Amino acid sequence: MGTDYNTTVRKHWDNSCGAGLPARESNDLDRVADKNVRATREFPTSLQIGNVRISPATVLAPMAGVTDTVFRRFIKNLGGCGLIMTEFTSADGVLRDQRVRGRYLHFYEDEHPISAQLFGSNPSVLADAARMVEDLGFDLVDLNLGCPAKKVVKCNGGSGLLRDLPLIRQIFESVRAAVKIPFTVKFRAGWNDDEIVCVDLARLAEDCGLGAVALHARTREQGYSGNARWEWIGLVKQAVKIPVIGNGDIRSPEDACAMVAQTGCDAVMIGRMAPSNPWIFRQIEQYVTTGSFVDPAEADRYQMIRTYFRMLLEEEMPGAEGKMKQFASWFTHGVPGGAALRKAIYEAKSGAEILGRVEEFFEAKLSAQTT
């Protein structure tokens, strides 16, 4: 069970204030400067972006190689996630290649509400791709200004655009004029600590008619290392009236509530923790409602792994076996004897064999527990 909500929340890593923040008045964000703020279970019940209601106010972050249709539906079925997003998708690619559209923009009716995330740097190409997204039936379209990967930044995509606010304005205006569905943006705080642009960028988004902004509170230079600087989320929230979604270092339900309490954000977005702990969205919902949450038992973990692997095989996803092996390292983390299971999975030659080895491993463990 989770801890009682009357304990003091501490993120289990340093999240100090200071470097890279814009100059501010002494009373600015004083209410969130103390990282040992007492836990609160106050959490937004829903989020409205244009005509799209998101409830609960939790978002599955777009993740390359992770958030395909199988994983999205898998997370939705576990409960507690209000909005799911596609993998980040090349605007140029979806316009030129039908196979790219089929791979990245395929979704099912039970995935609503769903947002398609695009990346690129050409305003007209992004506008055309956004029209395609709208025509396909997505509820929202999102622009990626956060990916730190060198191959993306090299093409002036993702966080590579953070050094060119005039071009970002052109993109915002072109896409906003192209579609009627809500248009949002996910971005990082800036290129590095000396080039923090998150407040200016959020104001620009609001000025151009975007429906919401999501901030991953790290710089491009940080990549995924170091600490997410929640203070930046608070500054953005103070700067704009449109909804602000906070992202970065949410590893537990307590962290989700602490981010809301410390920054005032309207929703939280969870990325890398989702494949490591697919129950986290449901746990947040439990914690907000009751003050505690349920950690999965071994039988729950078995059911979870078997369900996801079966979904991959039934969908006949290209590279399903590789994805099963990829997720095995996340799903079996902390499982007693998990190293042996991972070895057996990595050595398997087919998806059916992988599933069989998972079933054999857990059935033996569960049988031993009942004898």
> What mean pLDDT is predicted for residues 228-251?
97
SS (H, E, C) 288-304: HHHCCCCCCCHHHHHHH
Residue 23: pLDDT over 80: no
Report the percentage of the chain scoring pLDDT > 70: 89
Give the pLDDT of residue 27. Answer: 37
> What mean pLDDT is predicted for residues 53-63?
97
C-alpha–C-alpha distance, residues 218 and 212, integer Å:
18
**Residue 264: CATH number of its domain:** 3.20.20.70
Instruction: Return phi, psi of residue 269, to 5°.
Output: -120, 135
Whether 128 and 74 share a structural domain: yes
Whether 218 and 355 share a structural domain: no
Identify whether 286 is part of a domain: yes
Catalytic amino acids?
A: 147
Residue 35: pLDDT over 50: no
SS3 96: helix
**How sure is the predictor about 155, in pLDDT bands with cuts at 50, 70 and 90?**
confident
Which of 268, 290, 312 terminates a domain? The answer is 290
Whether 332 and 268 share a structural domain: no
**How sure is the predictor about 151, in pLDDT bands with cuts at 50, 70 and 90?**
confident
**How sure is the predictor about 258, in pLDDT bands with cuts at 50, 70 and 90?**
very high
Identify whether 35 is part of a domain: no
Whether a cis peptide bond, with omega within 30° of 0, leads into 113 is: yes
Quote the tokens at residue 358: 């998972």
Whether 99 and 222 share a structural domain: yes
Whether 162 and 196 share a structural domain: yes
Lowest mean pLDDT among 82-91, 109-118, 151-160, 202-211: 151-160
Identify whether 15 is part of a domain: no
Whether 225 and 336 share a structural domain: no
Q: Please, what is the average pLDDT of the chain?
A: 87
**How sure is the predictor about 150, in pLDDT bands with cuts at 50, 70 and 90?**
confident
> What mean pLDDT is predicted for residues 264-281?
95
**How sure is the predictor about 157, in pLDDT bands with cuts at 50, 70 and 90?**
confident
Domain that holds residue 220: 40-290
Identify whether 61 is part of a domain: yes
C-alpha–C-alpha distance, residues 371 and 178, integer Å:
64
Whether 48 and 89 share a structural domain: yes
> What mean pLDDT is predicted for residues 298-305?
91
Whether 253 and 105 share a structural domain: yes
Identify whether 311 is part of a domain: yes
Neighbouring C-alpha atoms within 13 Å toward the C-beta of 316: 0
Which of 235, 266, 290 terminates a domain? The answer is 290
Residue 8: pLDDT over 50: no
Which of 239, 261, 290 terminates a domain? The answer is 290
Residue 22: pLDDT over 60: no
**How sure is the predictor about 208, in pLDDT bands with cuts at 50, 70 and 90?**
very high
Model pLDDT for residues 90-148, shown as the tens digit of each residue: 999 999 999 888 889 999 999 999 999 999 999 999 999 999 999 999 999 999 998 77
Identify whether 268 is part of a domain: yes
What is the total count of domains within the chain? 2
Identify whether 160 is part of a domain: yes
Whether 204 and 318 share a structural domain: no
**How sure is the predictor about 318, in pLDDT bands with cuts at 50, 70 and 90?**
confident
Whether 269 and 342 share a structural domain: no
C-alpha–C-alpha distance, residues 93 and 86, integer Å:
15
Among 237, 255, 243, which Cα is nearest to 37's? 255
Identify whether 11 is part of a domain: no
Whether 221 and 345 share a structural domain: no
Residue 173: pLDDT over 90: yes
Whether 159 and 131 share a structural domain: yes
**How sure is the predictor about 14, in pLDDT bands with cuts at 50, 70 and 90?**
very low
